[in-house]
Amino acid sequence: MAQDIGPEVVAYEIIDFAIPAPLTDVPGDVERGWTIVQNAANATCLICHAMPMPWQPDHGNLAPDLAGVGSRYNAAELRLRLVDPKALNPDTIMPAYYQAQGLNRVQEKYVGQTVYSAQDIEDVIAFLLTLTEE
């Protein structure tokens, strides 16, 4: 019997430390991305990163502040950082939000699944691009 290995992972190509091609045909939705990164049930970024969201009670300091990140990186660079940060830094503690294999300490029910869907990744990128320096 075929095993349910969760959503199919879209193939992507890493070029020059970035993933230039979007994972889906639907443009990223800023509002949806904003909601996703604040969803504590979904491995929230705020555990490690500070973000310009003063209403959030807890911000992590294990990683760079994401304020201004949209000025530092373009969509292609942000895509690789979310999809497979280990491609840039094999020792990073940043989770790979779009890998179904090669992960450590995955709960059994999540084996073979990505943390975010391909569309989630595109929506989070759209939101991060709004975090530009004033």
Binding residues (CB under 6 A) for ligand HEC: these are: 37, 43, 45, 47-49, 62-64, 66, 69, 72, 78, 81-82, 85, 88-89, 92-95, 97, 124, 128
Tokens 């970024």 identify what position? 45
How far is Cα 101 from Cα 84, in angstroms, rounded to an integer?
11
Least Å from the CB of residue 92 to ligand HEC: 3
Closer residue to ligand HEC in complex, CB, 23/45:
45
User: What is the C-alpha to C-alpha distance for residues 6 and 15, in angstroms, rounded to an integer?
Assistant: 27
Interatomic CA distance for residues 84 and 88, integer angstroms: 8
Least gap, CB of 81 to ligand HEC (angstroms) = 5
**Least distance (Å) between residue 46 CB and ligand HEC:** 8
Sign, CA torsion 6/7/11/12: negative
Q: For residues 68 and 112, which CB has a smaller minimum distance to ligand HEC in the complex? A: 68
